[in-house]
Structure 1
């Protein structure tokens, strides 16, 4: 069964921010569930083992379509668990939005090193701004962590890096051709190598910058995430199995 970082915090990793494994290490918690945050309920889902579906709303708990009888104190804990998750989501999305901005700035810095003129004419900024706006729209609209698993996050980071590739290639290509025609083959090759360095190694450098910038903010949420482990303690599914939506030990 594959462990995932808790669904309500996976949003923090958008655009290649700190990886899920690093986050699990940071807060020492993990989950095997995907989460969908609906207006009427939280829905946790997984395919590997029962309970496959867990639904929470206003102190009520259903697992695999069956209502779980709860004492009043258990209802209170379920309600608090739901409220805690809903409170975490906007904070996570805010960090994710900042992560997108940080990623775009990091990519711009990479591009400025490889091809300064591509930055100075404004084309690169227009492309980056459009990509940032698109990813932020996806963050705002997302209700399910299926949109933000590790593979998806890496893809978003690659989208940002890949956007600048054609711009740099066009910008440097003309300069390199001119150098080559004037007999400076070494200079032409050096220009092309600078672009290749951005498109092939740029993502790793962008991710490293995001990890350094966002990790302290992620750590600040760890106590709230840890409280979820305590709130679910003693709760069971409809078949009497302990409810383990969030688990310590990453």
Structure 2
């Protein structure tokens, strides 16, 4: 039954592909979670749970209190906000492509299983993919772009369908084993091996394409990092904002 766990792992390649993209030539590290509003960037501290930043049109608020800024910092914050919106737009497209990739991976398994159950599964997957892509678009248009939302939604989509697929594969394997037809059981096992190999190759290739899309974010991220490092404003404890850092 090792073939069962291998197929499930193949489905999760899209998630490992996303991880590889984040570990690309300019992987991002930040002490903040970002939410993109129509008129502002809102950042909440991960390590400092009580720290909340708001950046809007060259102005900065820390925990609700507006900070005094030099003209240089005002312009830098405007530029940071502008570049952040460019990155968010590109990230939205990347997220929709990741959703499509996850849906394709799962649908391929459903199609390979065949039968009415497989067809119904493929339809459910496609419906969910369309709805999830629409939700991503809607959230972005409303300015509610949350950098953790996409990952959670894709993981939820994969998690919903992997058990159903695993159960179907198990049922087919048991049916082949109980049929008494050794040749049929062997053919089923070989079919699963071939399918696993093919889908791993396809998902790896598509995952690399996603990585290239992720790397296209690097120029804008580098601009944000440079602007962040140039900010003169300091927090009450004397520390810099340190919005983002990149590993090159």
TM-score (norm 2): 0.73
Q: How does 1:45-84 map to 2 (within 5 A)?
A: 45-49=44-48, 52-84=51-83
1:82 to 1:71, Cα distance in 2 relative to 1, 3 A: same
1:46 to 1:231, Cα distance in 2 relative to 1, 3 A: same
Q: How does 1:81-96 map to 2 (within 5 A)?
A: 81-96=80-95
Q: Which residue in 2 is equivalent to 1:128?
A: 125
For the residues of structure 2 that align with 1:40 and 1:207, how far apart are their CA atoms? 38
Q: Which residue in 1 is equivalent to 2:215?
A: 219
1:205 deviation in Å?
7.4
CA RMSD of superposed structures (Å): 3.6
For the residues of structure 2 that align with 1:163 and 1:135, how far apart are their CA atoms? 19
Q: How does 1:146-165 map to 2 (within 5 A)?
A: 146-149=148-151, 153-162=154-163, 164-165=165-166
Q: Which residue in 1 is equivalent to 2:147?
A: 145
| Aligned partners of 1:17 and 1:99 also within 8 Å | no
1:234 deviation in Å?
2.9
For the residues of structure 1 that align with 2:194 and 2:129, how far apart are their CA atoms? 22
For the residues of structure 1 that align with 2:146 and 2:87, how far apart are their CA atoms? 14
| Aligned partners of 1:54 and 1:64 also within 8 Å | yes
Q: Which residue in 2 is equivalent to 1:243?
A: 241
| Aligned partners of 2:21 and 2:211 also within 8 Å | no
| Aligned partners of 2:58 and 2:78 also within 8 Å | yes
1:222 to 1:46, Cα distance in 2 relative to 1, 3 A: same
| Aligned partners of 2:105 and 2:203 also within 8 Å | no
1:207 deviation in Å?
6.1
Partner SS for 2:25: helix
1:244 deviation in Å?
0.7
Q: How does 1:163-242 map to 2 (within 5 A)?
A: 164-165=165-166, 172=172, 177=175, 180-181=178-179, 183-184=180-181, 187-188=184-185, 191=188, 208-235=204-231, 236-239=233-236, 240-242=238-240
| Aligned partners of 2:40 and 2:54 also within 8 Å | yes
For the residues of structure 1 that align with 2:191 and 2:22, how far apart are their CA atoms? 32
| Aligned partners of 1:42 and 1:82 also within 8 Å | yes
Q: Structure 1 unaligned runs (5+)?
A: 1-14
Partner SS for 1:26: coil
Partner SS for 1:62: strand
Q: Which residue in 2 is equivalent to 1:10?
A: none
1:165 to 1:209, Cα distance in 2 relative to 1, 3 A: farther
For the residues of structure 2 that align with 1:195 and 1:74, how far apart are their CA atoms? 59
For the residues of structure 1 that align with 2:68 and 2:169, how far apart are their CA atoms? 61
| Aligned partners of 2:176 and 2:188 also within 8 Å | no
